[in-house]
Amino acid sequence: MTNLRIERLCKTFGTFTALDDVSLEIPTGKFVCLLGPSGCGKTTLLRVIAGLEAPSGGRIFVNGEDQTRMPTHRRDMGMVFQSLALFPHLDVAGNITYPLAIRGADRASRAARAEELLELVRLPGMGARRIDQLSGGQRQRVAIARGLAIDPKVFLLDEPLSALDAGLREHMQIELRQIQQSLGVTTIVVTHDQKEALTMADLVIVMKDGVIQQAGAPMEIYRNPANAFVAGFIGTTNLLPCAIHDGTIEVLGARLPITEGDRIGVDHGAVQLSVRPEHIGIVPTGKGAIEAEVTFVRDLGESRHVLLQASGQEIIAQLTPETQASYRPGDRVSLDFRPGERVVVT
Amino acid sequence: MRATPGWVGLWPALMLAIFFLVPFGIMLAVSVSHRDPAGAFIPGFELTHYARFLSAFFAKVMAVSVGVSVAAAAICVVLAFPFTVFLASMSHRTQTVALVVLLSVLSLSEVIIGFSLSTLLSKTAGISNLFYWLGLIAEPRAYTPSLFALVTGLCYIGFPFAVLVLYPPVSRLDPEIVEAARVMGASASRAFFGVVVPNLRGAIVGAFILVFVFTLGSYLLPQLLGRSEDWTLSVHITDQAIYQTNLPFAAAMSIFLMLVALALVGLASLAGRQRRAA
């Protein structure tokens, strides 16, 4: 069932177009990440869905009901803000049950619900704490609990984890995903962190300049990017100018036969070949298709990145830990682009 | 860097003693000395001046003083608070212009404000002529001297102070907490009274106290804009000290006024604190 449907949504601020003809459908219970660089319109889209911004055009349907003109406070949404926006004048329980108090729930049911939600976010018994007595991670959890207090129709989060340090952020990503799965609530998270999106989402929506570039499952987007922007934004990739001729990809002076699994999105005009670093094999010189020279070796612990130069193009290749060979700047090597993992995009 | 040595703290303490405690001590001594109708006073100890104050007439004067100041402070805060919230949401440029205009109002003296208002509210040249011209009233009338004119004048003086006290905390308030309240189901007015006001309670109480204390000491505007029954205690103190040459009585009234002001300020700040703890 479709929970949220957005039809041809536009939003302009003066001469700036924040959203340009955005349409999408989100099925009930999905975890969606809006992903893109800053200024791509992802936060604006979230705010329009919440009703905090009025769209310049287009319509929003929630459970089949047109909510385009509905005031924010009647939409029954849950939201976690970037600043978290916890109320300093209320304690933890007061914050969590604020949406219930607004809806006239009595004291006893509010207290029970607060404890239930605190269990859910693993802060049992913390209801009487003041907000300024909490750590960053605890505040995060309180904000999530508050957003979920009314069983929202859609749960919206605007860069919710950006203030946390790296370790805690990864932990919270997993926890947020687990909470969402246990409740089955349709969730939309805005993020600029592609790892975060890949960790949590059922559906990743990549945006740029107010336009949806691609929407799909994380691995689908990773393996089959719709264009060069998506290929470069999701994970690391090598984008190399190429041409398609008679069943071959012409790249860096070599002709690679197209094999099953290679994804040729376009075959004319200025096209680029996207090859992930982990799909580049380094072989002794003369044994592979493309000759290259090592310029730098970057040891990352769990893997090694080898930076190479081939026909004036910079290329990154990733070595698996079991690779015994060691390379040094100046070494001459040959490269193989793994068949079936080559993507041609504009 | 070395820590500031403790004896530096003696300097403000010394200044406070010389310029505040000593004059206060003199005033206290004067208030219990004997009045000399020919000159100022003869040192001594008597409580006749305090006794004289405890009369129905001065009780009423005290009530008028406190009432007028409380009214002015309340009106100022009620006007200044939404104004400041609105101002804080404007562009930086607009905010700067508005604050500069407000500050320039502070440079006007009480005398100028008093005379301007009494002209504006007069029968011959005042605003009632405009109402008459518009057909709202049958004939021009004077709105001054009156309690209304007095409170208007005090509000005119108090408003910029209220805004200046409210502005820093209001502009620091996270605008997302209002949006959060809205998303969670609060109407605009409910978000304002349920989230914005409670979070700025301290600032609101502070603005109220400042305007209250400030207007309590006003002795020019009541004479310019008020009727004689609207004269506040400050006017009577001026009258006793300067025109009746009764310094002891003026000093006694000053001490009363100060005690009442302190009590009210204490009450107000206590109310502000208790609500926050709740």
Q: Which phi and psi (to 5°) does residue B192 adopt?
A: -65, -50
Task: Identify which has the larger pLDDT, B278 or B180.
Answer: B180
Q: How confident is the model at residue A164 (pLDDT cuts 50, 70, 90)?
A: confident
pTM of the model: 0.80
Residue of A82, A98, A151 to mutate for B, most B C-beta atoms under 10 A: A98
Does the structure show a pLDDT above 70 at A286?
yes
Check: CB of residue A24 under 8 Å from CB of residue A205.
yes
Residues of B in contact with A72 (CB under 8 A): 179, 182-183
Domain with CATH 3.40.50.300 in chain A: 2-223
pLDDT digits (tens, 9 = 90+) for B3-52: 777 788 888 889 888 898 999 998 888 888 888 777 677 888 888 888 88
Residues of B in contact with A79 (CB under 8 A): 180, 183-184
Strand, coil or helix: what is A79? Answer: strand
Q: How confident is the model at residue A311 (pLDDT cuts 50, 70, 90)?
A: confident
Neighbours of B86 (CB within 10 A): 11
Q: Is residue B124 part of a domain?
A: yes
The answer to whether the CB atoms of A50 and B195 lie below 8 A apart is: no
The answer to whether the CB atoms of A85 and B179 lie below 8 A apart is: yes
Return the pLDDT at B74: 95
Task: Identify which has the larger pLDDT, A299 or B77.
Answer: B77
Please give the residue range of the domain that contains residue B80: 47-277
The answer to whether the CB atoms of B183 and A78 lie below 8 A apart is: yes
Would residue A44 be called left, alpha or beta, if left means φ above 0 and alpha means ψ between -120 and 50 degrees? alpha
Whole-angstrom Cα distance, residue A297 to residue A316?
Answer: 10
Q: Which phi and psi (to 5°) does residue A99 adopt?
A: -65, -30
Q: Which phi and psi (to 5°) does residue A276 adopt?
A: -70, 150
By DSSP bridging, strand A271-275 and strand A238-245 are antiparallel
Q: How confident is the model at residue A27 (pLDDT cuts 50, 70, 90)?
A: very high
Strand, coil or helix: what is A78? Answer: strand
Q: Which phi and psi (to 5°) does residue A89 adopt?
A: -85, -5
The answer to whether the CB atoms of B181 and A51 lie below 8 A apart is: no
Most confident of A1-5, A92-96, A262-266, A323-327: A92-96
Check: CB of residue A24 under 8 Å from CB of residue A6.
yes
Does the structure show a pLDDT above 90 at A307?
yes
Amino acid occupying residue A262: D
Min Cα separation B266/chain A (Å): 22
Check: CB of residue A294 under 8 Å from CB of residue A339.
no
DSSP state of B90: S
pLDDT digits (tens, 9 = 90+) for B155-200: 999 999 999 999 999 999 988 999 999 999 999 999 999 999 999 9
Determine contact: A75 vs chain B, CB below 8 A: yes
By DSSP bridging, strand A263-264 and strand A343-345 are parallel
Q: What residues of chain B, 197 to 236, have a C-beta less than 8 Å from chain A? A: 198-199, 201
Neighbours of A276 (CB within 10 A): 21
Return the pLDDT at B46: 82
Q: Which phi and psi (to 5°) does residue B90 adopt?
A: -80, 175
> Tokens in use for A332?
């001459």
Whole-angstrom Cα distance, residue B171 to residue B95?
Answer: 10
How is domain A2-223 classified at the CATH fold level? Rossmann fold (3.40.50)
Return the pLDDT at B187: 92
The answer to whether the CB atoms of B180 and A103 lie below 8 A apart is: no
Quick one: which of B96, B117, B134, B148 has its CA closest to B224?
A: B117
Q: Which residue of A has its CA nearest to B198?
A: A89
Look at the block and give the residue holding tokens 């208007």: B152
By DSSP bridging, strand A78-80 and strand A2-13 are unpaired
Q: How confident is the model at residue B1 (pLDDT cuts 50, 70, 90)?
A: low
Residues of A in contact with B190 (CB under 8 A): 102
Would you call A235 exposed, middle or buried from its count of C-beta atoms within 10 A (0-12, 13-18, 19+)?
Answer: middle
Determine contact: A82 vs chain B, CB below 8 A: yes
Structural domains of chain B, count: 1
Residues of A in contact with B276 (CB under 8 A): 89
Residues of B in contact with A102 (CB under 8 A): 184-186, 190, 194
Q: Which residue of B has its CA nearest to A52?
A: B179
Q: How confident is the model at residue B275 (pLDDT cuts 50, 70, 90)?
A: low
Give the count of Cβ contacts less than 8 A between chain A and B.
64
Q: Is residue B80 part of a domain?
A: yes
Q: Cβ neighbours of residue B174 under 8 Å, at least 6 residues apart?
A: A83, A85
- Per the DSSP assignment, residues forming a β-bridge with A12 are A17
Residue of A102, A153, A156 to mutate for B, most B C-beta atoms under 10 A: A102
Mean pLDDT of chain B: 87
Q: How confident is the model at residue A176 (pLDDT cuts 50, 70, 90)?
A: very high
Domain with CATH 2.40.50.140 in chain A: 237-345
Q: How confident is the model at residue A205 (pLDDT cuts 50, 70, 90)?
A: very high
Taking residues B244-257, what's their average pLDDT? 88
Would residue A8 be called left, alpha or beta, if left means φ above 0 and alpha means ψ between -120 and 50 degrees? left
Strand, coil or helix: what is B28? Answer: helix
Return the pLDDT at A1: 65
| Helices A107-120, A136-148: inter-axial angle, 10-degree rounding | 130
Q: Would you give the end-to-end CA distance of chain B in angstroms?
A: 42
Return the pLDDT at B101: 92
Taking residues B135-140, what's their average pLDDT? 84
pLDDT digits (tens, 9 = 90+) for A94-112: 999 999 999 998 999 999 9
Quick one: which of A210, A208, A257, A254 has its CA closest to A228?
A: A208
> Tokens in use for B165?
């006290």
Whole-angstrom Cα distance, residue A272 to residue B117?
Answer: 77
Quick one: which of B30, B59, B25, B54 has its CA closest to B246?
A: B30
Does the structure show a pLDDT above 90 at B80?
yes
Taking residues A15-40, what's their average pLDDT? 92
Mean pLDDT of chain A: 90
Taking residues A251-272, what's their average pLDDT? 82
Return the pLDDT at A30: 94
- What is the domain-level CATH number for residue B77? 1.10.3720.10
Min Cα separation B174/chain A (Å): 7
Whole-angstrom Cα distance, residue A212 to residue A196?
Answer: 18
Quick one: which of A346, A337, A334 has its CA closest to A242?
A: A346
Q: Is residue B225 part of a domain?
A: yes
Taking residues A319-330, what's their average pLDDT? 80
The answer to whether the CB atoms of A75 and B183 lie below 8 A apart is: yes
- Per the DSSP assignment, residues forming a β-bridge with A297 are A306
Does the structure show a pLDDT above 80 at B271?
no
Quick one: which of A260, A273, A266, A245 has its CA closest to A337?
A: A273
Return the pLDDT at A301: 79
Torsion B93-B94-B95-B100 (CA) sign: positive
Determine contact: A76 vs chain B, CB below 8 A: yes
Q: Which residue of A has its CA nearest to B188?
A: A73
Check: CB of residue A215 under 8 Å from CB of residue A205.
yes
- % pLDDT > 70, chain A: 99
Q: Which residue of A has its CA nearest to B176?
A: A85
Does the structure show a pLDDT above 80 at A269?
no
CATH superfamily to which A237-345 belongs = Nucleic acid-binding proteins (2.40.50.140)
Return the pLDDT at B278: 42
Q: Is residue B9 part of a domain?
A: no
Look at the block and give the residue holding tokens 């609060």: B186
Return the pLDDT at B2: 65
Q: What is the DSSP string of A228-272?
A: HHHHHHSS--EEEEEEEETTEEEETTEEEEP-TT-EES--SSSEE
| Cis upstream peptide for A329 (omega within 30°) | no
Q: Is residue B253 part of a domain?
A: yes
Look at the block and give the residue holding tokens 């109708």: B37
Check: CB of residue A137 under 8 Å from CB of residue A84.
no
Residue of B176, B184, B274 to mutate for A, most A C-beta atoms under 10 A: B184
Does the structure show a pLDDT above 60 at B205?
yes
Quick one: which of A147, A100, A88, A82 has its CA closest to A120?
A: A147
Q: What is the DSSP string of A284-334?
A: ETTSSSEEEEEEEEEE-SS-EEEEEEETTEEEEEEE-TT------TT-EEE
